[in-house]
A and B are shown apart, each in its own frame.
Chain A
Amino acid sequence: MTRMTRLHVSRRLAPVAASALLIAATPGRAQDSSGQTATEKTWGAATGATGTPEPNPDCAPPGSWKSYSLAAGAKLGMLNPIGLGAMLSLPGEGKVRWQIDVVWEPSNYLQSYSIGGSYHLWDKVFFAGARLRLMQLHAPWSRGFRARTDNQLALGPEIGVRLSLGAAPRVLPFASLGIIFFPSETLSLPPMISLDIGAAVDLVRGRLP
């Protein structure tokens, strides 16, 4: 009688837990005695406003999650030499800033298709997040590609900095450091380290209906 391979739950959960802890460790929403969050002050100052921030796509009125921007970018990396991607920024409420991106990192050896989520810490340029990847250990068009072992799901935490420069179109240069874990039963690869720099440019900005 055969049975499916058992999960080693603790081993698989380790990288996930690390990512989750990193996210969970981010400071909560904090307001000072004026009732403003740090971001409201910072962004308010950036837009020349005092007190109540003026509405704009980057800094929506408090209580709103409706503004967004969509950027496209490219990066250079230590592990994968190049990457192309798109990034959705959700800066609403003047406090929480989530960014979600999809990235394709092609090469003649390793390939990665990934989706990442990041959270800007302390309303600053620093972010922490996690990335889920479909890694291909050999390029699918190469002679050495074998789907059963070369297609591997991977995930891990990521930290970095992402700036926002200029007015429309904004340029978002970034640098990030990540760890890639392979929670696989079919492979016992050690974690990989990714180190990237790149930039994205806002293509679409607006508000959700």
Chain B
Amino acid sequence: MAQTRPRPSLWPSLPFVGAVVALTLSAVSGCRADPDYPKQPPFDFDSMATPVPADFSSEGELAARYLADILPLYEMGEAGAFPGVEGVSIAYRAFRVPQERGAVVLLPGRAEAMLKYAEIIADIVDEGYSVFAMSHRGQGESGRMTEDPQLGYVEYFQDYVDDLDHFVNAVVRRSEHPRLFLLAHSMGGAVALLYLDEHPEVWSAVALSAPMLELDTGAFPEAAALSIASGVCSRGSGKSFAAGQTGFNANLAFDDADNTVTHSRARFDLKMATLREHPELALGGVSYRWLCEALQATSLVQTLGKYSNVPTLLFQAGSDKLVRPGGQNRYCNEAARCQKVVYGDSYHEVLMERDAIRNDALTKAIKFYRAWGG
């Protein structure tokens, strides 16, 4: 006679019960009211009635103009600094234009100094906009947080955003402006979009050059990079160069394979000459901590598009080797008023590229600002 063995029925279903619980909990966590902004049609740049003078700076005359016009104008800017989060000194320069069309807040990318943007600043000021440039903590003209001044480090990515908030409130809005606009590059774009998510009312329009919304982790799959970096960060402060990262290479030449940022020899050479002359502005590779924070921050920023209704112009570099387009595409597809312009031949630094790319992007940015009241 066969023996009947009682078998509990609950245990085999445990994983599935767990999965259902997980699904439910994950659906509940992180829920945020969806503003449901309808997607707006793109702005037609060719229909812009207001002409933009095509007299932006050019590569051919850059060397001569830089010393004669651009650098003197930059040095006339009001230089200042304020204590950012944890007291780190944040440097800025303000270029105030009488009868301004509006004010443009300029946020450089990672490792960049404000001085690198002197040419851009001159062009924007010529268009009748005041410019307020800020150097992110730990780079450029701002204070460092590590013993090695060339280590790209930040304790919390949110510190960049909080510094920007202080800059906007304590410096930019100290005087009245008809409109506020943003121009941000790469990491500055991620900082800008995080700030825009917190304070969308501040900005009339935003232009982003190759915003860092998804890092290119190179040979490392992103999951491996995140796991390794997070492991290092969980063990300590992460204040060491990440694998494959080194200090600033002052001998990098335009034709080197490591130049993956611009096709413009004139602008590349000017940047390197400036950094050789001002080595204190140079910054090397990234630390593990910066990598941990940047991977988390970019994974957050790319999901924020659906909450944005701020007019946003996004320049995507088709030959970018530093950031991947996926995050930009996701943000811009979901943002109601985001418009993407792709420069297929552009390396990462769209605003430091050859004239054909750089000046087209700048023209579009100015037109975009004007379309939104600037």
Interface residues of A (CB under 8 A from B): 1-7, 12-13, 16, 19-20, 23, 62-63, 65, 77-81, 90, 93, 96, 98, 100, 107-110, 115, 117, 129-130, 132, 137-138, 143-144, 146, 148-149, 151-153, 155, 183-194
Complex formed: what's the CA distance from A79 to B330 in Å?
Answer: 28
Could you say which of B13-21, B201-209, B248-256, B357-365 contacts chain A? B13-21
Complex formed: what's the CA distance from A5 to B28 in Å?
Answer: 10
Which residue of chain A has its CB nearest to the CB of B235? A81
Closest beta carbon of chain B to A61's beta carbon, Å: 10
Q: Most chain-A CB neighbours within 10 Å: which of B15, B222, B295?
A: B15
**Given A109-B234, A109-B292, are A62 and B34 neighbors across the interface (CB < 8 Å)?**
no
Task: Tell which of A2, A23, A81 touches B15, judged by Cβ atoms closer than 8 Å.
Answer: A23
Residues of B within 8 A of A146 (CB): 158
The DSSP consensus for interface residues of chain A is loop
Please tell me if the beta carbons of A79 and B15 are within 8 angstroms of each other in the complex.
Answer: no
Could you say which of B3-11, B49-57, B273-281 contacts chain A? B3-11
Please tell me if the beta carbons of B34 and A5 are within 8 angstroms of each other in the complex.
Answer: yes
Please tell me if the beta carbons of B230 and A5 are within 8 angstroms of each other in the complex.
Answer: no
Which residue of chain B has its CB nearest to the CB of A193? B227
Please tell me if the beta carbons of A189 and B14 are within 8 angstroms of each other in the complex.
Answer: no
Please tell me if the beta carbons of B6 and A4 are within 8 angstroms of each other in the complex.
Answer: no
B156 at the interface (CB under 8 A from A): yes
Complex formed: what's the CA distance from A110 to B226 in Å?
Answer: 12
Complex formed: what's the CA distance from A191 to B25 in Å?
Answer: 18
Instruction: List the count of A-B residue pairs having beta carbons below 8 Å apart.
Output: 145
Residues of A within 8 A of B227 (CB): 78-79, 192-194
Please tell me if the beta carbons of B223 and A193 are within 8 angstroms of each other in the complex.
Answer: yes
Interface residues of B (CB under 8 A from A): 3, 5-8, 11, 14-16, 18-19, 21-23, 25-27, 29-36, 155-156, 158-159, 221-224, 226-228, 230-231, 233-236, 238, 292, 295-296, 299-300, 302-303, 327, 330
Please tell me if the beta carbons of B299 and A19 are within 8 angstroms of each other in the complex.
Answer: no
Please tell me if the beta carbons of A65 and B8 are within 8 angstroms of each other in the complex.
Answer: yes
Please tell me if the beta carbons of B23 and A12 are within 8 angstroms of each other in the complex.
Answer: yes
Please tell me if the beta carbons of B234 and A107 are within 8 angstroms of each other in the complex.
Answer: yes
Closest beta carbon of chain B to A23's beta carbon, Å: 4
The DSSP consensus for interface residues of chain B is helix
Please tell me if the beta carbons of A155 and B11 are within 8 angstroms of each other in the complex.
Answer: no
Residues of A within 8 A of B14 (CB): 98, 100, 117
Residues of A within 8 A of B30 (CB): 5, 148-149, 152, 184-187
Complex formed: what's the CA distance from A66 to B11 in Å?
Answer: 13
Residues of A within 8 A of B25 (CB): 153
Please tell me if the beta carbons of A13 and B156 are within 8 angstroms of each other in the complex.
Answer: no
Please tell me if the beta carbons of B33 and A4 are within 8 angstroms of each other in the complex.
Answer: yes
Please tell me if the beta carbons of B156 and A192 are within 8 angstroms of each other in the complex.
Answer: no
Residues of A within 8 A of B224 (CB): 193
**Given A79-B231, A109-B234, A149-B300, are A188 and B330 neighbors across the interface (CB < 8 Å)?**
yes
Residues of B within 8 A of A19 (CB): 15, 19
Residues of B within 8 A of A151 (CB): 29
Task: Tell which of A12, A16, A98 touches B11, judged by Cβ atoms closer than 8 Å.
Answer: A98
- Give 6 new A-B contacts, CB below 8 A, not counting A5-B30, A79-B227, A183-B23: A62-B5, A109-B292, A148-B32, A185-B30, A187-B30, A189-B295
Complex formed: what's the CA distance from A130 to B26 in Å?
Answer: 16
Task: Tell which of B36, B299, B300 touches A1, judged by Cβ atoms closer than 8 Å.
Answer: B36
Please tell me if the beta carbons of A191 and B223 are within 8 angstroms of each other in the complex.
Answer: yes
Task: Tell which of B23, B34, B155, B238 touches A13, judged by Cβ atoms closer than 8 Å.
Answer: B23
Closest beta carbon of chain B to A164's beta carbon, Å: 20
Complex formed: what's the CA distance from A91 to B119 in Å?
Answer: 73
Closest beta carbon of chain B to A146's beta carbon, Å: 7
Task: Tell which of B7, B18, B299 touches A130, judged by Cβ atoms closer than 8 Å.
Answer: B18
Complex formed: what's the CA distance from A4 to B29 in Å?
Answer: 12
Complex formed: what's the CA distance from A79 to B228 in Å?
Answer: 7
Residues of A within 8 A of B26 (CB): 12, 153, 155, 183-184
Complex formed: what's the CA distance from A98 to B17 in Å?
Answer: 15
Sorted nearest first, the 5 A-B pairs with minimum C-beta distance are: A144-B156, A186-B30, A107-B234, A190-B222, A63-B5
Closest beta carbon of chain A to B233's beta carbon, Å: 4
Residues of B within 8 A of A191 (CB): 223
A-B contact pairs, 7 of them (CB 8 A): A98-B11, A129-B15, A132-B22, A144-B156, A153-B29, A186-B300, A192-B223
Residues of B within 8 A of A3 (CB): 34, 36
Residues of B within 8 A of A153 (CB): 22, 25-26, 29
Please tell me if the beta carbons of B223 and A130 are within 8 angstroms of each other in the complex.
Answer: no
**Given A63-B6, A109-B233, A193-B224, are A187 and B19 neighbors across the interface (CB < 8 Å)?**
no
Complex formed: what's the CA distance from A90 to B10 in Å?
Answer: 13
Complex formed: what's the CA distance from A62 to B5 in Å?
Answer: 8
Complex formed: what's the CA distance from A90 to B8 in Å?
Answer: 12
Which residue of chain A has its CB nearest to the CB of B17? A117
Complex formed: what's the CA distance from A5 to B23 in Å?
Answer: 14
Complex formed: what's the CA distance from A137 to B158 in Å?
Answer: 13
Please tell me if the beta carbons of A110 and B233 are within 8 angstroms of each other in the complex.
Answer: yes
Residues of B within 8 A of A7 (CB): 27
